[in-house]
Amino acid sequence: MRHYYTAQQIKAAEAPLLASLPDGTLMGRAAYGLARVAADELRARTGGVAGRRVTLLVGSGDNGGDALWAGALLRRRGVAVTAMLLDPARAHAAGLAALRAAGGRVSADPGSADLVLDGIVGISGKGPLRPTAAAIVAELDAPIVAVDLPSGVDPDTGAVDGPAVTAAVTVAFGALKPVHALAAARCGRVELVPIGLTLPEADLQALDPWEVGRLWPVPHAADDKYSQGVVGVVAGSGRYPGAAVLSAGAAVTATAGMVRYAGRGAAEVLNHWPEVVAAPSPAEAGRVQAWVVGPGIGTDDAALEELRTVLASDVPVLVDADGLNLLAEHPDLVRHRAAPTLLTPHAGEFERITSVAPTPDRVAATRALAAEWGVTVLLKGRATVIADPTGRAYVNDAGSSWAATAGSGDVLSGIIGALLATGLEPAPAAAAGARAHSLAANLGAREGSDETGDDGLAPISASTLLAHLRSAIRILRVFPSSHVPES
């Protein structure tokens, strides 16, 4: 399990160490780790360390001090180090003295660098880059290693509301912060450097790939098609038959013991998935252990009746797409429903339900809706956020945006519905399903690259994603996290 800690939690954990350890110890640990990662990055990109050029962007806080001390260590390894002091009067005095003693120089010109260390703003900083810093960053063409977080990105929400750094690598000190998942595209690869912090269990977590594999249901000797989970799918209509095909197909592929389809697209579903058992309506479908309702059903009276019937059941229900649009007008159908309920909105659907956009703090917004309605909420995005009514929250960084394609959400609903039918609680089911879904998208984007020797990625469709779902589940179940392709 990966844990993500807020800036306030990190500062509270640092306080006893700062009080008990010799001055500069924590900064020394951070700087040593930063210098090591920077040297590794130089070696990987240029083939060596000595003789290479590194520019430090130095702000007034401790992150600037970390960068200066790391620069001194790199200088001792033969790196030409230049520091740009964005606020010379407030630069970290000891770090600056160490850099100069090692032979580093200070300049107002970043020069031509092989690598840049971003020490402009730390976890105490808020808001975008100031104009001077923004202008410098905009002119850089070297890869950037961010010190703890990319400057200009909010540490707790990952929000960006103006100029900000986009890093190739981010070196996180002591623990991961929400920014490292919520703004992963800004952070690049994240390297964690331990500095001796003692921290409780975090409020925001992410499942590791091997944990998803361990959660995924597999049949045992005494299992039959009923004990492996029977999921009902209400999806599709005359206008959107594909939603039924994708959602039902994902439930089949995600190893549900049986999929019962109840809707207006039975012919299309059976044509693609003959193992599905079809009925004309939820009332006639037979017993299920979980329902998926909403993808492509429309918002007419027939769709509303289907939604009412499903939500009146005593089993877990996942509501997506048109089902969410109907709930925006009829929220009492689901608020504080006795059986577990999972809502899976994208940002637009979230705003229709709540009348408030889920930004800038997507985790807080997701938690608030979950608590107010007594449901679990999965807020879709590159970083998918999941929260249940207790406040427990998960985040899944997809590693790419390949899944941002029409019909992808229909596939996700079917995957998670199959997991709900096996008895998994909504929050871990949603987190596991989101992980498999994003991996399948990344595998689809890589399709053919190994055979041709081409390292390029290609756009995918929801059908491509679904076609790679079985392989994604296999990888999650068999391989450790180091073997799982992220993008």
CA distances from 222 to 100, 155, 264, 338 (A): 71, 49, 35, 31
For residues 157 and 478, the model is more confident at: 157
Q: What b-and-e string marks burial along 275-286, b requiring 16 or more CB atoms within 10 Å of the CB?
A: ebebeeebeebe
pLDDT tens digit string along 142-174? 999 999 999 999 999 999 999 999 999 999 999
User: Do 28 and 144 share a domain, yes or no?
Assistant: yes
pLDDT for residue 151:
98
Summarised one tens digit per residue, pLDDT across range 367-422 is: 999 999 999 999 999 999 999 999 999 999 999 999 999 999 999 999 999 999 99
b vs e for 54-74, b when ≥16 Cβ sit within 10 Å of the residue's Cβ?
Answer: bbbbbbbbbbbbbbbbbbbbb
For the chain, the domain total comes to 2
Structure tokens at 454: 């081409």
The pLDDT value recorded for residue 457 is 85
pLDDT in tens, 72-129: 999 999 999 999 999 999 999 999 999 999 999 999 998 899 999 999 999 998 899 9
| pLDDT value at 451 more than 50 | no
Q: Do 130 and 223 share a domain, yes or no? A: no
| Sign of the four-CA dihedral 287, 291, 297, 298 | positive
Q: Taking residues 320-326, report their average pLDDT.
A: 98
Residue 452 has what pLDDT?
45
Of 141, 175, 202, which one is at a domain's C-terminal end? 202
317: helix, coil or strand?
Answer: strand
Convert the pLDDT of each residue in 223-275 to its tens digit.
889 889 999 999 999 999 999 999 999 999 998 799 999 999 999 999 999 99
Known binding residues: 62-66, 118, 122-128, 148, 151, 243, 296, 346, 380-384, 409-410
Q: State both tokens at 189.
A: 């690869």
Question: Is residue 257 domain-shared with residue 356, that is, in the same domain?
Answer: yes
Query: Stretch 287-310: mean pLDDT, rounded?
Result: 97
The Cα-based distances of 3 to 74, 156, 157 in angstroms read 30, 13, 15
CA distance 408 to 414: 10
Is the pLDDT at 480 greater than 70? The verdict is no
**Domain closes at, from 202, 225, 256:** 202
* b/e map 315-345, b = 16+ CB within 10 Å: bbbbbbbbbbbbbbeeeebbeebeebbbbbb
Q: In the 8-state DSSP scheme, what is residue 176?
A: B
Residue 117's CATH number: 3.40.50.10260
- Three-state secondary structure call for residue 361: coil
Report the CATH number at residue 345. 3.40.1190.20
Residue 21 belongs to domain spanning: 2-202
Identify the three-state secondary structure at position 259: strand
The reported pTM is: 0.94
Which residues define the annotated binding site for AMP?
A: 380-384, 409
The pLDDT score that the predictor gives to residue 448 is 64
486 within a domain of the structure (yes/no) = no
- Determine the average pLDDT of the residues in 168-188: 98
Closest CA to 254 of 214, 294, 207, 218: 218
Q: Same structural domain for residues 176 and 314? A: no
Whether the predicted pLDDT of 481 surpasses 80? no
Question: Which helix (H) or strand (E) is 38 found in, with range?
Answer: helix 25-46
pLDDT in tens, 21-56: 999 999 999 999 999 999 999 999 999 999 999 999
Tell me, yes or no, whether 487 lies in a domain: no
Of 458, 431, 453, 454, nearest in space to 443 by CA: 458
Residue 170 and residue 271 in one domain: no
Query: Is a pLDDT exceeding 90 seen at residue 294?
Result: yes
Q: Looking at the structure, do residues 255 and 197 belong to the same domain, yes or no? A: no
Cα–Cα distance measured from residue 441 to residue 444, given in angstroms and rounded to the nearest whole number: 5
Q: Residues of the chain with pLDDT > 90: what percent?
A: 91
Is the domain of 139 the same as that of 27? yes
Q: Which of 202, 220, 238 is the last residue of a domain?
A: 202
Binding residues for (6S)-NADPHX: 62-66, 122-128, 148, 243, 296, 346, 410
* Positions at the binding site for K(+): 63, 118, 151
Average pLDDT over the chain, rounded to an integer: 95
C-beta separation of 343 from 371 below 8 A? no
